[in-house]
Amino acid sequence: MISLQSVSTTFSTRGGPVTGLDDVTLEIPAGQLACVVGPSGSGKTTLLMAIGGMLRPNVGTVQVNGQDVYSMSGSARAAFRARNIGFIFQMFHLVPYLNVLDNVLLCTHGNGGTSKQAAVELLERLGLSHRAGHKPSQLSTGERQRTAIARATLLKPSVLLADEPTGNLDEENAAEVVKILGNYRDEGGTVLVVTHGSDALEYADRVIRMRAGRVTEETITADSS
């Protein structure tokens, strides 16, 4: 479960303070897929970073799985994030000199152990087993994003945060990625997707609309439980 209570963030710029989040209160139950939509600059990515333990709010509390993320020390928060939260980014962030399998195993922080077999099996599920030994430069755009998804989900974190995961993909690959995210929700994960488009909305249990750092509307879909 994800819970934010009265969360606000402010950034200092040369032009003066800029509001990232403005008094956001939000709850996303475990096992749901939520889409966050809104124009550029509305606070979508800032929201994701705050939930992911990467941006401490100026005011308010952020809880993930019942734990107050910012009451922890930096090292404890990093360990909690590694166990509980997976990240998927628009730009993939794959290491160019590592092959697909080794990129996926990065989430184990060098302690692969039995995770290597799990990674091989996951690549098979994602249709990437034939690419396990290839470098990112040898992959299609869709294959790079599926590699990033494999890395984010290998350790089966309970929360998956995706920032514009289909932004660089064509329609076919975007549909495949969205289906994968929907399947992760169906297997019990909590998924939060930041998106400009509508591709993920058909899988969403709730749609959160933002503008100027505030949640302006929250819609529960008819099919959500």
Tokens 């949640």 correspond to: 215
Per-residue pLDDT of the chain (225 residues; tens, 9 = 90+): 899 999 999 998 888 888 999 999 999 999 999 999 999 889 999 999 999 999 999 999 999 999 999 999 999 999 999 899 999 988 889 999 999 999 999 988 766 566 888 999 999 989 999 999 999 999 999 999 999 999 999 999 999 999 989 888 888 888 888 899 999 999 999 999 998 777 778 889 999 999 999 999 888 875 554
Whether residue 83 lies inside any domain: the answer is: yes
Instruction: Give the 3-state secondary structure percentages of the chain, helix then strand then coil, rounded to 5.
Output: 35, 30, 35
Q: Please check whether residue 39 is in contact with residue 205, taking contact to mean a CB–CB distance below 8 angstroms.
A: no
Asked if the structure places residue 225 within a domain, the reply is no
CATH number at residue 102: 3.40.50.300
Question: Which runs of consecutive H residues, i.e. helices, occur in 23-99?
Answer: 44-51, 74-84
Contact 133, 101 (CB under 8 A): yes
Those residues whose C-beta lies under 8 Å from the C-beta of residue 22, and which sit 6 or more positions away, are: 8, 43, 212, 213, 214
Count structural domains, the chain.
1
Residue 200 lies in a domain: yes
Q: What is the pTM of this model?
A: 0.90
The answer to whether residue 110 sits within a structural domain is yes
Q: Is residue 72 part of a domain?
A: yes
Residue 57 lies in a domain: yes
Give the range of the structural domain holding residue 111, as residue numbers without chain letter.
Answer: 2-220
